[in-house]
Structure 1
């Protein structure tokens, strides 16, 4: 039991050491992926065809919370969508 605990701790320490220098890069990549996903889900409302529009409709309530941060990060002072009022 003690060997497994020390091995788990060693693995966690190794992962932390590896990711220390790349935390900002990892955070930026995750933010970029979130931005792309949000853009793809909202592309139909922006006027771009989205083949998965029907399947992404149920995600809108969850995306409303992040939408304000997203459009500010994209350089838009106000919401580009008439249906989403966040500002």
Structure 2
């Protein structure tokens, strides 16, 4: 059974609207994609310092709460300390290099 004319028009409009919104997204966000990526990286680095602050020797009153987040950061730890300019792992119990 073939869709009726209003359903066909609705599908056609939906496809066009989707293409239009994707075009607007690319127009407005495209030129700033690199900046957004850099800002996200800076935010992630700050989060890493906050979570690992106690392990790095910075007194942290919230260390009890951030300790359970540490396993989620192990994957990105090596890239983070290299970006921060630390050639070797600053933590004795994480031997990533």
1:3 Cα shift? 2.1
1:5 Cα shift? 3.1
Distance 1:41 1:5 in 2: 44
Partner of 1:62: 72
Unaligned runs of 5+ in 2: 1-9
Q: Matches of residues 1-87 of structure 1 in structure 2 within 5 Å?
A: 1=10, 2-87=12-97
The list of structure 1 runs, each at least 4 consecutive aligned residues, that deviate by more than 3 angstroms after superposition, is none
Q: Normalized against structure 2, the TM-score is what? A: 0.81
CA RMSD of aligned residues (A): 1.3
Name which one, 1 or 2, has greater alpha-carbon Rg: 2
Q: Normalized against structure 1, the TM-score is what? A: 0.89
1:8 Cα shift? 2.5
Q: Deviations over 1:43-72 (max 9, x none)?
A: 011111222212222221110010000000
Aligned residues: 87
